[in-house]
Amino acid sequence: MKNAPVTPRKHKLIEYANGPSLEEINGTVPVPKNKGFWRTLFAYSGPGALVAVGYMDPGNWSTSITGGQNFQYLLMSVILISSLIAMLLQNMAAKLGIVSQMDLAQAIRARTSKALGIILWIMTEFAIMATDIAEVIGAAIALYLLFHIPLVIAVFVTVFDVLLLLLLTKIGFRKIEAIVVCLILVILLVFVYQVALSDPDWGGVIKGLIPTAGTVAAHPNVNGMNPLSGALGIIGATVMPHNLYLHSAISQTRKINHDNEDEVATAVRFTQWDSNIQLTFAFIVNSLLLIMGVAVFKSGAVKDPSFFGLFKALSDTSMLSNGVLIAVAKSGVLSVLFAVALLASGQNSTITGTLTGQVIMEGFIHMRMPLWARRLVTRLISVIPVLFCVWMTRNLPAVDEHEALNNLMNNSQVFLAFALPFSMLPLLMMTDSRAEMGVRFKNSLWVKVCGWISVLGLTYLNLIGLPDSFAGFLGAHATAGQIEIAHLLAYVAIVAVLVLLVWCTVELYRGNKRLERAQQDHTTNSPHFAGEVD
Instruction: For 258-268, write each residue's pLDDT tens digit.
Output: 889 999 999 99
**pTM value?**
0.86
Mean pLDDT of the chain: 83
3-state secondary structure 480-531: HHHHHHHHHHHHHHHHHHHHHHHHHHHHHHHHHHHHHHHHHCCCCCCCCCCC
Fill in the amino acid letter for 421.
P
Instruction: For 79-126, write each residue's pLDDT tens digit.
Output: 999 999 999 999 999 999 999 999 999 999 988 999 999 999 998 988
Instruction: For 195-247, write each residue's pLDDT tens digit.
Output: 888 888 899 999 999 988 888 787 787 776 788 878 877 877 777 888 899 99
Query: Which DSSP state fits 19?
Result: S
Grade residue 168 by pLDDT with cuts at 50, 70 and 90. low
**Mean pLDDT value across residues 290-298:** 85
Domains and CATH numbers, the chain: 16-414 (1.10.4160.10)
Instruction: For 29-43, write each residue's pLDDT tens digit.
Output: 899 888 889 999 999
**Mean pLDDT value across residues 50-58:** 82
Grade residue 12 by pLDDT with cuts at 50, 70 and 90. low
CB-based contacts of 346, cutoff 8 Å, min separation 6: 57, 58, 135, 136, 138, 139, 142, 158
Strand bridging mode 367-368 / 15-16: antiparallel
